[in-house]
Amino acid sequence: MNVKPKKSLGQHFLTDEDIALRIVEALVPMPGVSAVLEVGPGMGVLTKYLVANETYQTTIIDVDVESIRYLNEKFPQLGDRIIGADFLNINLTQYFANPFFVIGNFPYNISTQIVFKILENKDLIPQMVGMFQKEVAERLASKPGSRVYGITSVLVQAFYDIEYLFTVSEQVFNPPPKVKSGVIRMVRNGVSHLPCDEVIFKQLVKTAFGQRRKMLRNALGVFQLNSLQGFEPYLTKRAEELSVQDYIDLTRLVTINKKQ
């Protein structure tokens, strides 16, 4: 029995065993964490290496009914740890009471949504290893000053340290995608809450990158500030020049200014 990749689900099944093993081995063991959730296992090319590793208690989730039927036959030992559901729509706390890792060859069409789902559950997910479209992986891992550094880079790096691990050729998938893939690792950085107003922080980041060709003086206009005193170091910079800490500091300035 085989599973037919479905274009509607963005499925591109990895066929290279060596790369599958590299992805699984990219998970870094952490004290007290043994649960792993694989998102979108397809035909289980990663799953078999996860199951073979006695360090992990593996759970898999896939929205594809055909995949779930196949995986139940191939990995009966997983029992009720094979979930037929949409990762984006489930309440993860119903399945996991303690921290767990996330891993997967993520469908390109929802990969950014998967990252934000992880971000929403950051206190439960200390680490993620995943394969994305190469440009998405590069954006997530990019640093200030990079041309691909953007909104997702800042919002995710506020809570995770991200490392771009390696690039994967189009030719090791069925069917081959039209672009290369990239594997990244995200590890929680210990920050539970930003030391600033997180609502204003997000608004500031989104506004700044929405006008990324302009100086930050323009983005600050939407906040109707009482004055620009104290903002001088930032006024002539552009969005991609600021680090996460810069955005935190700028958020504090905006908050103080609006209270005056």
Averaged over 184-190, what is the pLDDT? 97
The answer to whether 243 and 220 have CB atoms below 8 angstroms apart is no
The answer to whether 66 and 89 have CB atoms below 8 angstroms apart is no
Mean pLDDT, the chain, as a whole number? 95
Q: Examine the domain organization and report whether 37 and 137 are in the same domain.
A: yes
Domain final residue pick, 158, 188, 218: 188
DSSP state of 27: S
Averaged over 14-34, what is the pLDDT? 97
Does residue 253 have a pLDDT over 90?
Answer: yes
In a domain, 77, yes or no: yes
Q: Examine the domain organization and report whether 63 and 128 are in the same domain.
A: yes
List the domain range (segments joined by +) for residue 123: 7-188
Q: Examine the domain organization and report whether 83 and 130 are in the same domain.
A: yes
Q: What is the pLDDT of residues 75-119, one digit of tens each?
A: 999 999 999 999 999 999 999 999 999 999 999 999 999 999 999
Confidence of residue 193 (pLDDT cuts 50, 70, 90): very high
In a domain, 115, yes or no: yes
CATH label of the domain that carries residue 220: 1.10.8.100
Q: Examine the domain organization and report whether 136 and 14 are in the same domain.
A: yes
Q: What is the pLDDT of residue 11?
A: 87
Q: What is the pLDDT of residue 118?
A: 98
In a domain, 226, yes or no: yes
In a domain, 253, yes or no: yes
C-alpha to C-alpha distance for 37 and 62, rounded to whole angstroms: 11
Count of helices and strands (H, E) across the chain: 10, 9
Confidence of residue 1 (pLDDT cuts 50, 70, 90): low
Confidence of residue 13 (pLDDT cuts 50, 70, 90): very high
Averaged over 214-220, what is the pLDDT? 92
In a domain, 1, yes or no: no
- Residue of 84, 30, 87 whose CA lies nearest to 56: 30
CATH label of the domain that carries residue 41: 3.40.50.150
Confidence of residue 154 (pLDDT cuts 50, 70, 90): very high
In a domain, 86, yes or no: yes
Does residue 235 have a pLDDT over 70?
Answer: yes
How much of the chain exceeds pLDDT 90, in percent?
A: 89
Domain final residue pick, 136, 154, 188: 188
Does residue 257 have a pLDDT over 90?
Answer: no
How many structural domains does the chain have?
Answer: 2
Averaged over 129-153, what is the pLDDT? 97
Q: For residue 209, what are the CA distances in angstroms to 60, 109, 162, 178?
A: 36, 22, 20, 28
In a domain, 193, yes or no: no
Q: What is the pLDDT of residue 258?
A: 75
Q: What is the pLDDT of residue 101?
A: 98
Q: Examine the domain organization and report whether 130 and 254 are in the same domain.
A: no
Confidence of residue 226 (pLDDT cuts 50, 70, 90): confident
How much of the chain exceeds pLDDT 70, in percent?
A: 99
Does residue 260 have a pLDDT over 80?
Answer: no
C-alpha to C-alpha distance for 37 and 95, rounded to whole angstroms: 10
In a domain, 2, yes or no: no
Does residue 164 have a pLDDT over 80?
Answer: yes
Q: Examine the domain organization and report whether 161 and 184 are in the same domain.
A: yes
Q: Examine the domain organization and report whether 222 and 144 are in the same domain.
A: no
Q: Examine the domain organization and report whether 221 and 149 are in the same domain.
A: no
